């Protein structure tokens, strides 16, 4: 399927939209950062310099593509729809895993659904965390420390399957700003423990 990337700015806000066949919106990003908008304008100007363009009035089709209110509403609607779909898929996929187990006193309880979305043997790796305190780790203590550092050492982060800064995190692990991730990934201790579990490696 053919995809089209649409980027637009008003000088303060910056938007990226990914469309498929029939202008179906697949994904989008809305950023309220003048620096990002300025960088985009500069790069666009550098690429377009020297090209021969005829400038005229925008057609109705193109006018709608620079309507920020319309694009922002479409982006938020797309993210809500995606979250609902993902939640439904995870409920179906892990329905059999949320089995009932017997406690020592004979009562039945359901295993926490969130635990299904975490790496086995950890309290910090995956969707959410089950640790009651910062010091609490599970069986794979090394991997757990690694994920704990990843999730708590950066001031700019997006939780698993959550929206923040106009972005949606599709992963089951916390996403951090690139500068934080670069510092983190070169931590020798983490590199050692990331080899413990292939799933953890895949997350980073």
**Is the pTM value of this prediction over 0.75?**
no
Give the other-Cβ count within 10 Å of 140's Cβ: 21
Q: How far apart are CA 12 and CA 17, in angstroms?
A: 17
pLDDT at 104 over 60: no
Report residue 110: phi and psi, to 5°. -95, 135
Q: How far apart are CA 163 and CA 167, in angstroms?
A: 5
DSSP secondary-structure letter at 57? P
Model pLDDT for residues 29-63, shown as the tens digit of each residue: 888 888 888 888 888 888 777 777 676 677 777 77
Using CA atoms of 46, 49, 51, 57 in order, give the dihedral in degrees to the nearest 10.
Answer: 90
Structure tokens at 159: 């939780």
Could you tell me which CATH number the domain at 114-203 has? Answer: 1.20.90.10
What are the E-state strand segments in 150-200? 157-158, 163-164, 167-168, 175-176
Model pLDDT for residues 5-38, shown as the tens digit of each residue: 888 888 888 888 888 888 888 888 888 888 888 8
| Residue ranges of the chain that CATH labels 1.20.90.10 | 114-203
Evaluate whether 27 touches 42 at the Cβ level (below 8 Å): no
Task: Give pLDDT, residue 79.
Answer: 80
| Residue range 139-143: mean pLDDT, rounded | 73
Q: How far apart are CA 55 and CA 38, in angstroms?
A: 22
């Amino acid at each position: 399927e053919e995809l089209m990337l649409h980027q637009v700015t008003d000088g303060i806000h910056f938007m990226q939209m990914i469309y498929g066949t029939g202008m179906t919106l697949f994904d989008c990003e809305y950023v309220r950062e003048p620096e990002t908008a300025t960088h985009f304008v500069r790069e666009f100007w550098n690429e377009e310099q020297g090209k021969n363009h005829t400038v005229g009035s925008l057609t109705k089709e193109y006018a709608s593509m620079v309507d920020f209110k319309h694009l922002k509403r479409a982006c938020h609607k797309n993210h809500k729809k995606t979250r609902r779909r993902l939640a439904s898929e995870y409920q179906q996929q892990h329905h059999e895993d949320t089995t009932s187990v017997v406690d020592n006193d004979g009562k039945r309880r359901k295993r926490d659904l969130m635990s299904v979305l975490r790496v086995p043997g950890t309290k910090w790796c995956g969707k959410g965390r089950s640790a009651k305190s910062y010091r609490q780790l599970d069986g794979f203590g090394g991997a757990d420390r690694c994920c704990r550092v990843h999730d708590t050492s950066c001031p700019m982060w997006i939780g698993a399957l959550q929206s923040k800064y106009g972005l949606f995190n599709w992963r089951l692990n916390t996403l951090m700003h690139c500068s934080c991730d670069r510092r983190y990934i070169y931590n020798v201790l983490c590199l050692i423990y990331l080899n413990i579990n292939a799933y953890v490696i895949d997350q980073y």
